[in-house]
């Protein structure tokens, strides 16, 4: 039996990580779950943390698909999903050349600008008008989402760069993101398997943590269904901002350690 399964430090980091990811998967703050890998990376390598979390993410996706069934924006999926598949392919091809710290820093820096603009407009009491769908922008951000999701499990911020300004109904946006990331995570199984990330230790650790997945996911969905739209968007932008700062910090620290 792998010693990891008897390490209390592993559970001290892994249990909060899975709960945060589950709340995010349920819809409570789209960026909240991206603390999952950094939290687990305190006790295991980032690569191992990502490999342990992926099967759990897939279970959460199944719960979320059932919870949010029938609530989604078809045009948003059609415009972003092909780009995500392309982005995963690019990430697979360039896996040996692109580092996770690099991706974390870039995504975090762009997200800070994105959230900063929203905060500036809110202070001026003149929030930007909802944007109209744009196929070119959707394709670009879909590709970025697939790529960053594959490399560093940080697909949420790029997805929200395009989706949040559309100002969809919170339930529709949540249901759409659930389908989008369920497909993205399922596709990632193939390259992750071929890169040898699913060994017995990681799969056993994922199995032990899985009972937390449906509980946390359903809890997130329960809260989101009771939030007012303005509260939902404030929470979404706030969590994107917090995780952006964390991503930039992690990227700089990792670079300095090289």
Q: What is the mean pLDDT of residues 28-37?
A: 61
Phi/psi for 86 (5° steps) reads -65, -45
pLDDT exceeds cutoff 70 at 100: no
CA distances from 50 to 17, 89, 175 (A): 11, 18, 24
CB 224 within 8 A of CB 185: no
* C-alpha span between 195 and 200 (Å, rounded): 14
Q: What is the mean pLDDT of residues 232-243?
A: 72
Q: Which helix (H) or strand (E) holds 38?
A: helix 36-40
What number is the average pLDDT over the span 60-68? 88
Predicted confidence at residue 136, as pLDDT, reads 96
pLDDT confidence bin for 27, thresholds 50/70/90: low
Q: Are 5 and 205 in contact (CB under 8 A)?
A: yes
Per domain, the residue ranges of the chain are 3-257
The alpha carbon torsion through 163, 232, 19, 45 (nearest 10 deg) reads 40
The residue behind tokens 């892994």 is 14
CB under 8 Å to 184, separation ≥6 — which residues?
A: 84, 88, 145, 146, 149, 155
| Alpha-carbon gap, residue 163 to 90, rounded angstroms | 22
Phi, psi of 41 (to 5 degrees): -70, -10
Residue 45 is predicted with a pLDDT of 72
* Percent of the residues in the chain that have a pLDDT greater than 70, as a whole number: 86
The average pLDDT across 113-117 equals: 75
Quick one: average pLDDT of 131-154? 88
Exposed/middle/buried for residue 115 (C-beta within 10 Å: 0-12, 13-18, 19+): buried
Longest distance between any two alpha carbons in the chain, whole Å: 58
Q: Is the pLDDT of residue 224 over 60?
A: yes
């Amino acid at each position: 039996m792998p010693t990891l399964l008897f390490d209390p430090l592993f559970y001290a980091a892994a249990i909060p990580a899975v709960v945060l990811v589950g709340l995010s998967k349920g819809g409570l703050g789209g960026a909240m779950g991206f603390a999952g890998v950094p939290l687990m990376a305190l006790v295991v390598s980032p690569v191992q943390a990502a490999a342990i979390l992926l099967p759990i993410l897939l279970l959460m996706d199944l719960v979320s698909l059932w919870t949010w069934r029938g609530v989604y924006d078809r045009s948003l999926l059609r415009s972003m999903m092909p780009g995500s598949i392309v982005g995963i392919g690019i990430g697979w091809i360039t896996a040996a050349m692109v580092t996770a710290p690099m991706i974390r820093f870039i995504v975090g820096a762009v997200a800070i600008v994105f959230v900063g603009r929203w905060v500036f407009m809110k202070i001026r009491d003149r929030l930007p008008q909802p944007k109209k769908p744009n196929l070119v922008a959707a394709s670009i951000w879909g590709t970025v989402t697939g790529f960053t999701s594959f490399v560093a499990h940080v697909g949420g911020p790029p997805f929200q760069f395009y989706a949040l300004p559309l100002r969809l109904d919170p339930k529709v946006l949540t249901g759409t993101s659930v389908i989008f990331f369920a497909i993205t995570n399922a596709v990632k199984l193939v390259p992750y398997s071929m890169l040898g990330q699913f060994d017995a230790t990681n799969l056993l650790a994922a199995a032990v943590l899985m009972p937390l997945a449906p509980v946390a996911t359903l809890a997130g969905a329960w809260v989101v269904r009771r939030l007012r739209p303005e509260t939902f968007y404030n929470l979404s932008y706030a969590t994107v901002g917090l995780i952006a700062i964390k991503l930039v910090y992690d990227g700089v620290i990792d670079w300095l350690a090289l």
